[in-house]
Amino acid sequence: SLAAGRALARPIGQLSRAASAVGAGRLRVKLPADRKDEFGELFRSFNRMTRRLRRARARELRSARVLAWGEMA
């Protein structure tokens, strides 16, 4: 039905836009995790993934700074 199509289209669109943002390097994007359905589970997993990517990027930047300091010494 039309209502069911809309109910699926909105969260899929949200996920698609968020994935595009992450692909462009914007790791602060966050999806609404308060849904009580499969999309809520998917959105929570997506948010967990972006949080882990931010942490990995931060570790990488710290390592690069340590290496840069070591090369200057």
pLDDT number for residue 73: 67
Overall average pLDDT of the 29-43 stretch: 97
Rounded-to-integer distance, Cα 14 and Cα 4, Å: 16
Tallying the residues shown for the chain, one arrives at: 73
Q: Helix and strand tally (H, E) in the chain?
A: 2, 0
What pTM was computed for the model? Answer: 0.84
Angle between helices 2-23 and 38-72 (to 10 degrees): 0
Could you state, in order of their start, the residue ranges of all structural domains in the chain?
Answer: 2-72
The pLDDT of residue 26 is above 90: yes
